[in-house]
């Protein structure tokens, strides 16, 4: 299965000057987050970045989410933002198919002070969600883009009423607004996900054009 590609997509979706301005407003991150950002830049690891991390933390805070499932976690950057915002009574489920990513995430989350509230799961995120019982307050989708439509269909029934479905990369480098080649499976999957997200009455969906596009949906 194709892996997610490393991205420098803020400049592709936002005007470069606006992207730089937004970055200039961000407070400095603590040493753990800063190290994760450096590692991501060095090795081309896809992370949501600090602006989206703050959005995730805000969504957790305003919704009161405590039981969170993350579909695709890489080195645990977004996991750390989610777990810190959710508090010590939370349970955040980390998922990734790469054992090296999981090992790195464990170390970072331990240093970040949130490891006791994180459940580390190795494997395909969709399969892991199927095997994990119960409902969730928030599900974050950041898997391979060809999995997005299936992730949506699987995630929505697992949310509690009032729960949030959040997805990264829904503007996908700006390619959603361009002509799509027949072989571009990732872009076609994102386009399908976006249409599906706005279709059901049980979801109230909004796309925030931050970085590479973040979808936020509330389940009625």
pLDDT in tens, 168-211: 999 999 999 999 999 999 999 999 999 999 999 999 999 999 99
pTM: 0.93
Residue 5 has pLDDT above 60, yes or no: no
Consecutive H or E run containing 3? none
pLDDT in tens, 32-62: 999 999 999 999 999 999 999 999 999 999 9
Q: Which residue has the tokens 């991150």?
A: 29
Q: Angle, to 10 degrees, between the axis of helix 31-43 and the axis of helix 49-63?
A: 130
Residue 30 has pLDDT above 80, yes or no: yes
Rounded-to-integer distance, Cα 183 and Cα 133, Å? 36
Query: Minimal CA–CA distance to 5: which of 181, 185, 217, 214?
Result: 185
Q: What's the pLDDT score for residue 6?
A: 43
Consecutive H or E run containing 84? helix 77-86
pLDDT in tens, 77-100: 999 999 999 999 999 999 999 999
Structural domains of the chain, with CATH = 10-219 (3.40.50.150)
Q: What's the pLDDT score for residue 9?
A: 41
pLDDT in tens, 150-176: 999 999 999 999 999 999 999 999 999
Q: What's the pLDDT score for residue 91?
A: 98
């Amino acid at each position: 299965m194709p892996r997610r590609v490393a991205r420098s997509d803020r400049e592709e979706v936002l005007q470069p000057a606006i992207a730089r301005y937004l970055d200039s407003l961000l407070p400095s991150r603590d040493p753990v987050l800063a190290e994760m950002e450096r590692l991501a830049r060095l090795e081309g690891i896809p992370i949501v970045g600090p602006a989206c991390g703050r959005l995730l933390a805000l969504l957790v805070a305003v919704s009161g989410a405590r039981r969170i499932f993350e579909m695709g976690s890489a080195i645990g950057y977004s996991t750390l933002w989610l777990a810190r915002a959710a508090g010590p009574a939370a349970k955040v489920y980390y998922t990734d198919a790469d054992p090296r990513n999981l090992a790195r995430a464990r170390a970072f989350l331990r240093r970040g002070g949130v490891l006791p509230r994180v459940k580390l799961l190795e494997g395909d995120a969709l399969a892991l969600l199927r095997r994990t019982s119960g409902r969730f307050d928030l599900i974050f989708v950041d898997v391979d883009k060809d999995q997005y439509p299936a992730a949506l269909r699987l995630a929505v029934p697992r949310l509690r009423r009032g729960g949030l479905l959040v997805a990264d990369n829904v503007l996908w480098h700006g390619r959603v607004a361009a002509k799509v080649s027949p072989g571009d499976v990732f872009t076609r999957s994102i386009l399908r996900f976006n249409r599906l997200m706005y279709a059901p009455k049980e979801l109230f969906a909004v796309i925030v054009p931050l970085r590479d596009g973040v979808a936020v949906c509330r389940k009625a």
